[in-house]
Structure 1
């Protein structure tokens, strides 16, 4: 009888340790989007509570909301190219659905020479999407993470 009980307990433990459980601590949350102009490039910074699992970057000509599929026009006037950045394991809300980022979800960036606008394109199932619109298709970009504090940095320049 004791062997059966031990076998059942071992099997139950194996299931709970083999299946990763999502938790609030495993999802980084967005608290702010900051922008700044530097010599030769414009910068967009996403302030996060932790590091996302990964991020993906692609150059596109249009974006849509990830849940509804509705097109999003990035603010800022004529946008010829969009840098679409997707953070896996990140959100703009906490585990209770409360917004952690309360700023604008689509705004122009008139003080920047290379970036025209920024739009939040996704905040769904631990996936956070950001679109950075710019006017020159010859622009270069770099996207990287920094820690202490955690943030994702998007640079666009010529």
Structure 2
């Protein structure tokens, strides 16, 4: 009986000192992401060429990947009211409630004008049916050394942009858009 009383006193003292009480509530960002939704850009020009566009789903975000056959050297990614066709500026219809204009400072054609990336369906570069954030990836063109895409998303959500090495001697421009704030 004495052991029970000792344990009870120890538990009550620990609770009184705050050792067993829960800590203060802290609001964490979604999945620990601390991205924003402002324009992200690097003004450099690339000698590489765009060769592929693909997408993927992750636990906390959807991912757009643009493959180049050399080093990625520049880009601009930001939310716009509408994405315009390269050269003409004609609006590109996109599904979603918000639109990212993705520009890679690299052409999708070689030095003789032959396409290095020529999508079969310019309105659907990748099937994003069932994605949590992406609604559509569309071609906006490749003009005067720049290649542009329109990315329709379900809302204006935080995103990040970075580059990765590979495959082989190429590089990848990566755009991740969070599922939530």
Tell me the TM-score normalised to structure 1 length.
0.74
Is the Cα–Cα contact under 8 Å of residues 85 and 141 in structure 2 kept in the other structure?
yes
Is the Cα–Cα contact under 8 Å of residues 72 and 172 in structure 2 kept in the other structure?
no
Give the counterpart of 1:100 among 104, 113, 116. Answer: 116
Q: Structure 1 unaligned runs (5+)? A: 1-25
Cα distance between partner residues in 2 of 1:36 and 1:60: 23
Distance change in 2, residues 1:86/1:80 (3 Å): same
Tell me by how many angstroms 1:30 deviates: 1.3
2:101 matches 1:84 = yes
RMSD, aligned CA: 1.5
Is the Cα–Cα contact under 8 Å of residues 118 and 132 in structure 1 kept in the other structure?
yes
Structure number with larger C-alpha Rg: 2
Tell me the TM-score normalised to structure 2 length.
0.65
Post-superposition CA distance 1:16-35 (Å, at most 9, x none): xxxxxxxxxx5321111111
Q: Structure 2 unaligned runs (5+)? A: 1-45
Query: Which of the pair is proportionally richer in strand?
Result: 1
Give the counterpart of 1:42 among 59, 62, 73. Answer: 62
Give the counterpart of 1:134 among 135, 153, 159. Answer: 153
Tell me what 2:128 maps to: 109
Tell me by how many angstroms 1:118 deviates: 0.8
Distance change in 2, residues 1:94/1:111 (3 Å): farther
Cα distance between partner residues in 2 of 1:51 and 1:118: 23
